[in-house]
Structure 1
């Protein structure tokens, strides 16, 4: 069995998915399987993937499902993956040719059951690292500490042990299609650290239809998912008061979007009360910026 599964959630991305495919074909190490979770595409994604399967240059597993959103596609991927490690490469991203080789070699030298996996770097297509590199004075850290203690910035690439990613399934809310992916990662932070690897594992393209560039619309469409996410982050045992305060602001606004009593459901009422004025302002800002742009089913 191969050691790594690269999984790619995709939705109507036939126009850009080939870049990812070619980068995987060009990998110097083929010790991986490519799992494509087609989250309800209505374009030519299926036919395109079938043509690649016919070429038989890399191992490709294709799964189509009704549209469930990014976190729903992740849930399906984690249910299907059987390899020791997994990494998500989005449909508009690609991997440098030595990325798989670097992951496999690094894990064989350093991997163990006491860590959750590896964290590496993302870069732009020009090779410039997104945000900062990882600290060199430590070998491992939780994801939370990297951003909140060591002040790392920018997107990073996470390679997790599959047996751990099968835990903490993302909840699915009716008529909603978004829950913050970091929910699972912060849950794993409670018991495990990630090994630090200062190598670029993924080259990122931020396309206009990507979820990261449409966050306010996501916020408006998915208040239950956002409220759940912020509530869980407010409950983190290692989170600082300032971190919980920021989550409370978003918790208030999400609950207002779904006309819910935010104090009743808050895990920390005093912080929520203090954050409520800013939460109200955020709520108003979201309504203003998404006015006329949101169509609900």
Structure 2
């Protein structure tokens, strides 16, 4: 029913933690598809070891280092199940994650469902973002609206066909496009059910990760950020956010010019 899709680059030190969390799942009705984005460490040998002992199917796709967004494009094209769950290589899942998702897939009665979304927490189980007093029933939101409501990163599960249909744009020389750009496009296709207080995903923010290196990533990937910011101007309803993304778009134009002449 579902594939755990992981893009990885030089994460030999954290992949075992994710693997152990997958082995600890209460339901093994999933496969793990890893896209190795040109790792230069021991990733390949570690993945080979995993495949020999895992209680679930493991497949590995290799590509030249191109960025996580390209890895997700490649991975989606190789997924053979109707649903996929994107899990980063430096993160992990709680033991009930797969079982919870599989039980939720059949719950929404609307055939227009394109995704499910759950909460993330740090490894000490401290919730990312805010806790909502809205009960446990899923609510329908757009990814942009959910970002404003939950104020923290979220764990998305999508119909595979949606990620195949809405590929991340690729810009020569750049290796990043904000994921929300594609999540919004998927949300345009149908309904995404958000489980407001269900924690399935554990994470941390490493020193070399995207979240802690925003300014550097913006300078290196201005076209990828520009396509996101420009789309957000039309999606946002508040003047504050429209102005914010307009300013960011101008920054992207300037960085694009600077990169061209550097």
TM-score in same-fold range (> 0.5): yes
Question: Which residue in the other structure is 1:224 paired with?
Answer: 223
- Out of 78, 83, 86, which is 2:84 matched to? 86
Question: Which residue in the other structure is 1:118 paired with?
Answer: 116
- Asked if the contact 1:29/1:101 (under 8 Å) is kept, the reply is yes
Question: Which residue in the other structure is 2:141 paired with?
Answer: 141
Give 1:163 deviation, angstroms: 1.4
- Asked if the contact 2:115/2:156 (under 8 Å) is kept, the reply is yes
Question: Which residue in the other structure is 1:265 paired with?
Answer: none
Matches for 1:13-24 after TM superposition, within 5 Å: 13-24=11-22
Residue 10 and residue 222 in structure 1: after superposition, are their counterparts in 2 closer, same or farther (change >3 A)?
A: same
After superposing on structure 2, the runs of 4+ consecutive aligned residues of structure 1 that deviate more than 4 Å are: none
Give 1:59 deviation, angstroms: 0.9
- Asked if the contact 2:2/2:82 (under 8 Å) is kept, the reply is yes
Residue 186 and residue 134 in structure 1: after superposition, are their counterparts in 2 closer, same or farther (change >3 A)?
A: farther
Alpha-carbon separation, structure 2, partners of 1:57 and 1:158: 24
- Asked if the contact 1:171/1:179 (under 8 Å) is kept, the reply is yes
Alpha-carbon separation, structure 2, partners of 1:14 and 1:95: 18
- Asked if the contact 2:15/2:89 (under 8 Å) is kept, the reply is yes
- Asked if the contact 2:28/2:55 (under 8 Å) is kept, the reply is no
Question: Which residue in the other structure is 1:278 paired with?
Answer: none
Residue 60 and residue 135 in structure 1: after superposition, are their counterparts in 2 closer, same or farther (change >3 A)?
A: farther
Question: Which residue in the other structure is 1:234 paired with?
Answer: 233
Residue 117 and residue 42 in structure 1: after superposition, are their counterparts in 2 closer, same or farther (change >3 A)?
A: same
- Out of 28, 31, 34, which is 1:33 matched to? 31
Residue 42 and residue 63 in structure 1: after superposition, are their counterparts in 2 closer, same or farther (change >3 A)?
A: same
Structure (1/2) with the larger strand percentage: 2
Question: Which residue in the other structure is 2:199 paired with?
Answer: 200
Question: Which residue in the other structure is 1:282 paired with?
Answer: none
- Asked if the contact 1:87/1:158 (under 8 Å) is kept, the reply is yes
**Structure 1 unaligned regions, length at least 5:** 261-293
Kindly provide the CA deviation profile for residues 41-92 of structure 1, in whole angstroms up to 9, marking residues without a partner as x: 0111111101111114221111110011111111111111121211111111
CA RMSD for the aligned pairs? 2.1
Question: Which residue in the other structure is 1:108 paired with?
Answer: 106
Alpha-carbon separation, structure 1, partners of 2:91 and 2:207: 13
**Structure 2 unaligned regions, length at least 5:** none
- Asked if the contact 1:211/1:218 (under 8 Å) is kept, the reply is yes
Question: Which residue in the other structure is 2:176 paired with?
Answer: 178
Residue 191 and residue 184 in structure 1: after superposition, are their counterparts in 2 closer, same or farther (change >3 A)?
A: same
Alpha-carbon separation, structure 1, partners of 2:132 and 2:143: 11
Residue 156 and residue 134 in structure 1: after superposition, are their counterparts in 2 closer, same or farther (change >3 A)?
A: farther
Q: What SS class does the counterpart of residue 110 from structure 1 fall into? A: coil
Taking structure 2 as the reference length, the TM-score comes to 0.92
Alpha-carbon separation, structure 1, partners of 2:35 and 2:131: 30
Which is greater in Rg?
1
Give 1:111 deviation, angstroms: 5.8
Question: Which residue in the other structure is 1:165 paired with?
Answer: 163
Alpha-carbon separation, structure 1, partners of 2:39 and 2:48: 14
Question: Which residue in the other structure is 1:209 paired with?
Answer: 208
Alpha-carbon separation, structure 2, partners of 1:70 and 1:203: 19
Give 1:135 deviation, angstroms: 6.1
Give 1:195 deviation, angstroms: 1.1
Q: What SS class does the counterpart of residue 258 from structure 1 fall into? A: helix
